[in-house]
Amino acid sequence: MKRKLSLFILCSMAVVALAQSPAADTVVVVDNPHRIIITEQPGGSMGVEVQGSGSNDSFIYRYSAKQTPKADGDDDDNLNIPFLSSLTGKELKPASKPSVEWFTAFGMHYGFMNMSGVGDMCNMGSSAELGLLCPISLSVIFPHSWRITTGVGFGWKNYRLNFDRCFTKDADGRLTLGTYDPDTYSHLSRLKIFYLDVPLLLRKAWGDFSLSAGAVLCFNVHGTALTRYREGEREIRWCQGGIGQHKVSLDLMAAAQFNEIGLYVKYNPCRVLKAGNLPEFRSFSIGFSLGL
């Protein structure tokens, strides 16, 4: 049965309208209807039955209307009920087929990251992610507030180690872990990866609230390692590229949003660095979004 929920709401509005503005030929006043039934009848007509009114359980009101003949170019599944259309002043044609929409969105997100698999070498509060998920987006919109969204975005992931460990490179040029000399201080060591992303998200909305879930394909186009510390009055700084990050990775993502503000979680089940580079870790992040 097509569009039961939408027609139920429209018929409820019709009953209220009839109660407030009776027609010239027939006056129908229904106080507190108990039940409204919508049926499809032979010949393409729609039937509306109102059962019960206030304390009168035996009250029944029935109405039947033929569907308006389809004009050339109209969708087969679009319904137009003259009785209900006269109450709103326009044709009522519930959306029944997907539509495509190009749009630009802010899509900013900021999250706290953790290097999963390295124990306490990384604190979530000191590592962070910043990006625009899909400022250029394409959405396929379905009935009942469902949509699938994809697009192109970019961002940075910053992995910072605790103060007693640092990133360095071995004799073969592979990334590895080291320690600071005891007489040094003001330690800072981090990895930074810049990426382009292509998300594919399924979204369901209930008014201003929505839930999203899907995957984000990341192209990790650039990465650097930085270690900085002070020894006496000197600041020593080591920064190199070629950290051996995987060029393509996949993030699993879920988000909840109210109006334009939301929360999200992301998990990368793939190792961030290629084999032979240390540490071996995956990433997890949780944060805030704006206009996602």
When pLDDT is averaged across residues 77-98 and rounded to a whole number, the result is 47
The whole model's pTM is what? 0.65
- Residues 106 and 240 grouped into a single domain: yes
Residue listed under structure tokens 């020894």 = 231
Q: Is 93 within a domain? A: no
Beta bridge partners of 56: 53
When pLDDT is averaged across residues 175-194 and rounded to a whole number, the result is 91
Domain boundary among 58, 88, 118: 88
Q: Is 241 within a domain? A: yes
- Residues 22 and 58 grouped into a single domain: yes
CA distances from 91 to 67, 142, 245, 262 (A): 12, 20, 57, 36
The structural domain count of the chain equals 2
pLDDT digits (tens, 9 = 90+) for 2-34: 445 455 554 555 554 444 544 445 546 677 788
What stretches of 117-170 adopt beta strand conformation (E)?
A: 127-142, 146-160, 165-169
Between 105 and 100, residue with greater pLDDT? 100
Q: Provide the CA 85 distance to its chain's centre, in angstroms.
A: 34
- Residues 192 and 230 grouped into a single domain: yes
pLDDT digits (tens, 9 = 90+) for 116-138: 888 778 877 789 999 998 888 88
Residue 91 and residue 287: Cα distance in Å, rounded? 44
185-206 and 261-268 beta bridge pairing: unpaired
For residue 177, the enclosing domain spans: 99-290
Average pLDDT, the chain: 80
pLDDT at residue 75, as a whole number: 46
Q: CATH number, domain at 152?
A: 2.40.160.20
Give me Rg for the CA atoms of the chain: 30
